[in-house]
């Protein structure tokens, strides 16, 4: 993303044509998520994770080779398909690791994603500052990352876990998840829809922060262009840092309470920043907004994988697909509202949606199958066993 301006300049695209071109990547991502879920359930997540991981690393090279708008859109569409496949597959793999370990891990995995995004932006910025073209940037970054994706795939989980003989004091590890009966599968489908709607509400906020934070600080609060960029930087950093703490908080207070508390923090932080309406308060508001949203999506993805463990990929795909609609549609909704009532009031939409998530989390997420029970059972068993 940091090299998109250079690609735009090389192809001599206007802002409008670039905006149309960039829609190809999220379109590919949304189109592939349901198919990727079925592939994960049919063939396992490890194979799709390795293949799409290599593709995500190498396909940006085609952006640097694009000769016109049409080839750029084809390259972005292919990248979006690979990214959507990787997203579903690696989250399904993470859910399986989490299930076998019996403790929350999903938020830490998403923290690695956040820090990877920050590292990518920094690397792209350094190449741009040095005057190095996009093609060289994508080759330099993509080739070693493809090797990392291929090699690290050796350690992914490939087969369903086999139950081992129980130890004297510890419960037996969980075996392969059994398919749900039809009635339970119907309940799981309704539950996944509710989780997906919560994900949509959260990702509307992410999309709004990414697309409108700098505009709000620059145009509505009168800051410089450089200072305006700190709003989204603060949002991204606090989101990454919040995810480092998320798993410990989930283990301590449960996923539902964590989502509820984080959503209240997101709503309160952004609302305060908008009400005070000063540059410093605006940046602080987006920082608190990022901290509040940091743990919501990982916990919702974890709950989606546990709703029907035998069809983990399909569950994740459904929730992710609805969430991505919010990520794509959120900036458009905010823009439409801003044209009617102004951007400060339009940014109240994510505040309201965050409050809605907070009110619904205890009911929707709290009723989902979770890791709290096995983790608590293991802890009780370890306590009965006593110290070594």
Euclidean distance between CA atoms 15 and 76, whole angstroms: 17
Q: Per residue of the chain (388 residues), what is the pLDDT tens digit?
A: 778 778 888 898 887 788 778 888 888 888 888 788 888 888 889 999 999 999 999 999 999 999 999 999 999 999 999 999 999 999 989 988 988 888 889 999 999 988 888 888 788 888 888 888 889 999 999 999 999 999 998 899 985 544 444 444 334 444 555 555 666 667 777 888 899 999 999 999 998 888 888 889 988 998 887 788 788 889 989 999 999 999 999 989 988 899 999 999 999 999 999 999 899 999 999 999 999 999 999 999 888 877 776 677 788 888 888 888 888 788 888 888 888 999 999 999 999 999 999 999 877 775 555 444 444 444 444 444 443 3
Q: Which of 292, 249, 243 is nearest to 272 (CA)?
A: 292
Homologous superfamily (CATH) of 183-380 is MFS general substrate transporter like domains (1.20.1250.20)
140 alpha-carbon distance from chain centroid? 25
Give every CB contact of residue 82 below 8 A, 6+ residues apart in sequence. Answer: 52, 55, 56, 59
| Domain-wise residue ranges, the chain | 4-155, 183-380
């Amino acid at each position: 993303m940091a090299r998109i301006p250079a690609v735009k300049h090389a192809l001599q695209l206007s802002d409008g044509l670039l905006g149309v071109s960039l829609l190809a990547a999220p379109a590919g991502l949304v189109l592939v998520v349901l198919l990727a879920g079925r592939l994960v359930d049919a063939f396992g997540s490890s194979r799709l994770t390795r293949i799409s991981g290599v593709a995500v690393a190498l396909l940006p090279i085609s952006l640097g080779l694009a000769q016109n708008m049409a080839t750029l859109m084809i390259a972005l569409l292919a990248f979006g398909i690979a990214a959507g496949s990787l997203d579903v597959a690696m989250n399904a793999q993470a859910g399986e690791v989490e299930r076998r370990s019996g403790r929350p891990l999903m938020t830490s995995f998403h923290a690695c994603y956040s820090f990877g995004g920050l590292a990518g932006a920094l690397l792209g910025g350094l190449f741009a500052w040095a005057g190095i073209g996009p093609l060289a940037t994508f080759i330099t970054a993509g080739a070693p990352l493809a090797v990392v994706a291929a090699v690290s795939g050796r350690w992914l989980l490939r087969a369903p876990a086999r139950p081992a003989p129980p130890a004297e004091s510890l419960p037996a590890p969980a075996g392969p998840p059994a398919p749900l009966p039809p009635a339970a599968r119907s309940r799981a489908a309704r539950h996944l829809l509710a989780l997906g709607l919560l994900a949509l509400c959260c990702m509307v906020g992410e999309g709004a922060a990414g697309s409108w934070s700098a505009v709000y600080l620059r145009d509505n609060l009168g800051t410089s262009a450089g200072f305006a960029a700190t709003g989204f930087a603060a949002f991204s950093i606090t989101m990454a840092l919040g995810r480092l703490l998320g798993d410990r908080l989930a283990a301590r207070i449960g996923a539902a309470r964590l989502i509820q508390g984080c959503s209240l923090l997101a709503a309160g932080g952004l609302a305060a920043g908008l009400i005070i309406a000063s540059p410093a308060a605006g940046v602080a508001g987006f920082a608190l907004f990022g901290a509040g949203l940091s743990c919501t999506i990982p916990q919702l993805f974890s709950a989606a994988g546990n709703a029907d463990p035998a069809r983990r990929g399909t569950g994740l795909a459904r929730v992710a697909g609805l969430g991505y609609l919010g990520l794509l549609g959120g900036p458009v909704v905010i823009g439409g509202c801003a044209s009617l009532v102004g951007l400060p009031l339009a940014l109240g939409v994510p505040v309201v949606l965050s409050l809605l998530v907070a009110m619904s989390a205890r009911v929707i997420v709290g009723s989902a199958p979770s890791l709290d029970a096995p983790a608590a059972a293991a802890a009780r068993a370890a306590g009965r066993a006593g110290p070594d």
